[in-house]
Copies of this chain bind each other. A is one copy, B any other.
């Protein structure tokens, strides 16, 4: 199979042996694979693959068709359209996923959209609901709102009856975010728009002070990325006075059972919204597998709404 491989800090397409599904695993013929911040970190050598995942092929999410099944598989059959979050290896023509981590692909998504769905919507759903127990009527601030997770979070929070402020640096992306029902603002203005019950933070330490200062009593700040730095100072008295909390979450390092729980929640609570077209997956740009270096460059350039997708069927 052809697979993206990290070589000396670059990504290139190379020939690799076909993987073989083990007990409970699916072999999936990948049609599309979304890019994520973690891929950039892995390419730079800063974020090694978790144990059990391919070490040199990145890719945390994909859509595709089941090409073969290992012993004991019960949930899927050859030919089924599936999508999933994996610990790595999705940026390839073939990928292995445990059937419990896989999601059925709704008819309302095409393969390209579905390739960018699992990571963004699972992280956003986990952060807003599992970590922060978002409730209707609450005010949510989504930072980095034009990214894959951001766009997913804005939509899920709106569906859940929350009021959403979406911060994004690029002014020309704000109209699109407003079309999803958010009030879109410059990051520097988020605090002036009020206080927040829940803040989703994919950017990291540079926003920490402003985030903590903007939490309501009982507010929750969830850190899902640290692209702009991991270390920051907090004021514990502020945390106490607000009875607030800061939590961190990442999907990639979780064991199979935790990933399976997150996948089942998305299956039950988000896929019906996809099927009803109440949420959608905006795709900013697509690249073929042989163009992976350009795809990563496009991701790093920012200034995009939604996902950068590798179209593996090209």
| Contact surface of A with B, Cβ cutoff 8 Å | 131, 204-205, 208, 223-224, 226, 230-250, 253-254
User: A245–B243 contact, CB under 8 A?
Assistant: no
The residue that A245 contacts in the complex, of B205, B224, B246, with Cβ under 8 A, is: B246
User: B231–A231 contact, CB under 8 A?
Assistant: no
Q: Find chain B residues with CB under 8 A from A226 CB.
A: 236-237, 240
Q: Find chain B residues with CB under 8 A from A240 CB.
A: 223-224, 226, 248-250
A230 to B: closest C-beta gap in Å: 4
User: B244–A247 contact, CB under 8 A?
Assistant: yes
A206 to B: closest C-beta gap in Å: 11
Residue of B nearest to A47 (CB): B237
Given contacts A240-B248, A245-B246, A247-B245, contact A231 B230 (CB under 8 A): no
Secondary structure of the A contact surface, majority rule: mixed
The residue that A247 contacts in the complex, of B223, B232, B233, B239, with Cβ under 8 A, is: B239
A124 to B: closest C-beta gap in Å: 15
Interface centre among A233, A238, A245, A248 (most CB of B within 10 A): A248
16 contacts between A and B (CB under 8 A): A131-B245, A204-B236, A223-B240, A224-B240, A226-B236, A230-B236, A231-B235, A233-B233, A237-B248, A241-B250, A243-B247, A243-B249, A243-B250, A244-B248, A245-B245, A245-B248
User: B248–A243 contact, CB under 8 A?
Assistant: yes
User: B242–A237 contact, CB under 8 A?
Assistant: no
Cα distance, A244 to B237, chains bound together (Å): 19
The residue that A231 contacts in the complex, of B205, B234, B246, B248, with Cβ under 8 A, is: B234
Q: Find chain B residues with CB under 8 A from A131 CB.
A: 245
User: B241–A231 contact, CB under 8 A?
Assistant: no
Cα distance, A249 to B236, chains bound together (Å): 10
Cα distance, A300 to B33, chains bound together (Å): 61
Interface centre among A131, A234, A236 (most CB of B within 10 A): A236
Cα distance, A17 to B306, chains bound together (Å): 66
Q: Find chain B residues with CB under 8 A from A205 CB.
A: 236
Cα distance, A171 to B240, chains bound together (Å): 30
Cα distance, A32 to B242, chains bound together (Å): 30
Q: Find chain B residues with CB under 8 A from A246 CB.
A: 234, 239, 245-247
Q: Find chain B residues with CB under 8 A from A230 CB.
A: 235-238
Q: Find chain B residues with CB under 8 A from A208 CB.
A: 236
A131 to B: closest C-beta gap in Å: 8
Cα distance, A131 to B220, chains bound together (Å): 12
User: B241–A248 contact, CB under 8 A?
Assistant: yes
User: B247–A236 contact, CB under 8 A?
Assistant: no
A205 to B: closest C-beta gap in Å: 6
The residue that A248 contacts in the complex, of B236, B253, B254, with Cβ under 8 A, is: B236
Cα distance, A239 to B249, chains bound together (Å): 7
